[in-house]
Amino acid sequence: MKKKVLAVLMTAALAVSVAAGCSSSSDSSAASGSAAASGSATAAAEGDVYEMISGSTTPDTHPYNLGMVKLDELVQEKTGGAVKVDHFGSSQLGSERDLIEGLQLGSVQMCVISTAPLSGFTDSFLVFDLPFIFETSAQARAVMDSEVGTEILNSVEDQGLVGVCWFENGFRNVTNNVRPINAPEDLKGLKIRTMENQMHMEAFRVMGSDPTPMAMGEVFTALQQGTVDGQENPVPIIESNKLDEVQKYISMTGHLFSPAPVFISKAYYDAMPAEYQEALMAAGLESVEYQRQQIDEQEAAGLEVMAERSGIEANFPEKQAFKDATASLYDTYIKDEAGCVSPDIYERVMEVVNAN
């Protein structure tokens, strides 16, 4: 009973503090905010439980969800069950943009998402939206584990998001129902669903296709009904969402790598006792290795699973033509301007890439 009351009180207090902050003077929101904090100070008393709601757009068999289950096990172990994470996948709590807003409002406490939708809130993750910036998972993982990767993960606290750790989604490939994609010109005229990210859309636009941004929860139906011809995602996403059942071809372009930050709502995190904050961060870091293993295993097995299940045809195009076709994004988007990749971040990321 205590944990439910506490969770309700925390959410209500946070909701009240946000509501007051939106509609009246800062005094009342500060007061209710401090009430939430002081409430949690007493809440740190022996035996209280912090039961968090976490969300993703991915099915329970996907490594995002498997990683969050592992994180929950580890943080429960470290806190004797005082901190718990109840994860809800398959867009039950909304799109990735909805999840970001949910953490800001306090209606959801944690999430794991691709970095691309963060472009609506900050520019600091845009470096990952440069096509072919990574050649291998090892390079991507080295960047996520590096100082600059940690800085990027922690760069949105002013937006109400505390970075817990880097999970990953993987290298993105194109699926469609019209033709195998062996060269950029094969994309000409195809309606391709992309994430809601200006750089992803530009990459598919310069290759001649018609990029259509859409939340992940709508993609299967859009492909089934022919609203779009194709989409682009890593093999574990394609396989776990059974997109091969409504797609004929998968072309292993590997045009982008999606890291997947795990966030906790800053207001909720700040109201947690330090010992539980440390336990959560440690559990996050310890779950990364496991999550990466799950991605590697599903990447290795996914094409065969789908070929047997649906007969989807895989092809492995030469990447150079796609790199050449999208190279213009580096000139267009690496600038000290809003909506662009900071040259400093780009150079620091490339230092790590070139060293791995």
Which residues would be at the binding site for ligand EAX (CB under 6 A)? 57-58, 96, 113-114, 169, 195, 216, 233, 237, 258
The long-range contacts involving 209-218, CB below 8 angstroms and separated by at least 24 positions, are 215/57, 215/91, 215/95, 215/96, 215/97, 216/57, 216/58, 216/91, 216/95, 216/96, 216/241, 217/57, 217/90, 217/91, 217/95
**CA angle at residue 25 from 28 to 14, to 5 degrees?**
45
Report the SS3 class of residue 1.
Answer: coil
User: Is the Cβ–Cβ distance between 137 and 170 less than 8 Å?
Assistant: yes
Strand partners, 193: 212, 231
- Look at residues 296, 98, 51 and name the one whose alpha carbon lies nearest to residue 196: 98
Nearest distance in Å: CB 115, ligand EAX:
9
Nearest distance in Å: CB 341, ligand EAX:
20
Q: At what angle do helices 63-79 and 274-310 cross, to 10 degrees?
A: 150
User: Looking at beta carbons only, is 52 or 237 nearer to ligand EAX?
Assistant: 237
**CA angle at residue 157 from 151 to 160, to 5 degrees?**
150
Nearest distance in Å: CB 9, ligand EAX:
32
User: Looking at beta carbons only, is 63 or 273 nearer to ligand EAX?
Assistant: 63
User: Looking at beta carbons only, is 216 or 314 nearer to ligand EAX?
Assistant: 216
Nearest distance in Å: CB 291, ligand EAX:
13
Residue where the block lists tokens 């994430």 = 195
Nearest distance in Å: CB 340, ligand EAX:
22
User: Looking at beta carbons only, is 59 or 208 nearer to ligand EAX?
Assistant: 59
Measured at CB, which residue is nearest to ligand EAX? 114
Nearest distance in Å: CB 283, ligand EAX:
21
Residue where the block lists tokens 């976490």 = 54
User: Looking at beta carbons only, is 113 or 345 nearer to ligand EAX?
Assistant: 113
CA distance 220 to 243: 6
User: Looking at beta carbons only, is 107 or 197 nearer to ligand EAX?
Assistant: 197
